[in-house]
Homo-oligomer: A and B are copies of this chain.
Amino acid sequence: MEQYFRCVEECNRGRERSSEFLRFLVEGHTVGYIHPRFAALLEKFPQVFTVATTSTGYASVEIHERLETPEQRTTAVDDALRVLRRDGFVPGWRDEHYPVVLQFGSPAFFSLERAAVPFFGTKAYGVHMNGYVTNYDGSKQLWVAKRSKSKQTYPGYLDHLVAGGQPVGLSCSENIVKECEEEAGIPKQLAEKAIPVGAVSYETIYGEQCKRNVLFCYDLELPLDFEPSNKDGEVECFRLDSIPNVVQSLGNYKPNCALVVVDFLFRHGYIRPEQQGYLNLVQKLKSGECL
């Protein structure tokens, strides 16, 4: 069980530092957490952010109250972030927006460049799909992607067959179908058979970043003769791995993918109640605020 707990810990590292972070507020609601060093950068945009202070330092960061609509906030924040990007403070710019919400599906307060999300500690959602085959003897194998060496994050690590962030304006089901096509060449008709099976969540703190992520998990059973093919250059190669091999290589997975793999192992009976820590692990797969 130790390797499974290591996956959970890897995704939830740095949480002992959460008290360092300031609350990030919109309309009086806490929607994220910001490190004081990043707050100091935001202080330079007093028309966009209200950085409250006390005698001991920063207290909170709030979207300026004159920014009343989601559109106004989105534009003003984006303009400020492009200045910070130019100065090298927001690496990995994506030109892709994530909604800032209290809970999944609730109205967005505004939307935020994906690369900036961990600096604001706002919630991020993703869809992660385990693609597997069932062999004639009943054994299962997982399709595993090896991430391209040119990826910004975790180059060369193992990955799901299909995974992607949940951007503005797309439902999870639509997103899975889109990512299936782009990342693994899975045609729509087959991709639509992907089954939503629950969610995992985690919270990572490193440096000035706070990641609060919820991943919607999907399973897709693929025909034995299906061969994935990558179209967006993000994958170096695919391979079909036996469950024992998957378990053995969990440490080589991108950490949040390892969580989704562990969830798969649970739901398919490869981890059993007799194993010490079973219930603890069930719980820990939802260590972040799963809402």
Q: List residues of chain B with CB within 8 A of the CB of A190.
A: none
**A274 near B171: Cβ-Cβ < 8 Å:** yes
A195 to B269, CA, bound (A): 5
The chain B residue sitting closest to A280, CB to CB, is B291
Contact of A286 with B by CB under 8 A: yes
Contact of A267 with B by CB under 8 A: yes
**B279 near A199: Cβ-Cβ < 8 Å:** yes
**B272 near A104: Cβ-Cβ < 8 Å:** no
A198 to B263, CA, bound (A): 9
The chain B residue sitting closest to A219, CB to CB, is B269
Q: How far is the CB of A173 from chain B (nearest CB, A)?
A: 6
Interface centre among A171, A267, A268, A274 (most CB of B within 10 A): A267
Contact of A46 with B by CB under 8 A: no
| Copies of this chain, tallied across the complex | 2
**B198 near A266: Cβ-Cβ < 8 Å:** yes
Q: List residues of chain B with CB within 8 A of the CB of A156.
A: none
User: Interface readout for A264-291 with B: 1 if CB under 8 Å, 0 if not?
Assistant: 0011110111101011101100100011
Contact of A249 with B by CB under 8 A: no
**B198 near A267: Cβ-Cβ < 8 Å:** yes
**B274 near A195: Cβ-Cβ < 8 Å:** no
The chain B residue sitting closest to A274, CB to CB, is B171
Q: A279-B103, A280-B103 are in contact. Are A197 and B273 (CB under 8 A)?
A: no
Which of B197, B280, B283 is in CB contact (< 8 Å) with A267? Answer: B197
**B199 near A282: Cβ-Cβ < 8 Å:** yes
The chain B residue sitting closest to A271, CB to CB, is B196
Q: A283-B286, A290-B279, A291-B280 are in contact. Are A269 and B103 (CB under 8 A)?
A: no
Q: List residues of chain B with CB within 8 A of the CB of A198.
A: 266-267, 282
**A279 near B214: Cβ-Cβ < 8 Å:** yes
Which of B171, B173, B273 is in CB contact (< 8 Å) with A216? Answer: B273
A279 to B282, CA, bound (A): 15
Contact of A169 with B by CB under 8 A: no
Contact of A57 with B by CB under 8 A: no
Contact of A105 with B by CB under 8 A: yes
Besides A171-B274, A195-B269, 12 other CB < 8 A contacts? A172-B273, A195-B268, A196-B272, A197-B266, A197-B267, A197-B269, A198-B266, A199-B282, A280-B291, A283-B286, A283-B290, A283-B291
Chosen A-B contacts, 10 in total, with CB atoms closer than 8 Å, are: A105-B276, A171-B273, A172-B272, A195-B269, A196-B269, A197-B268, A197-B269, A198-B267, A279-B290, A286-B286
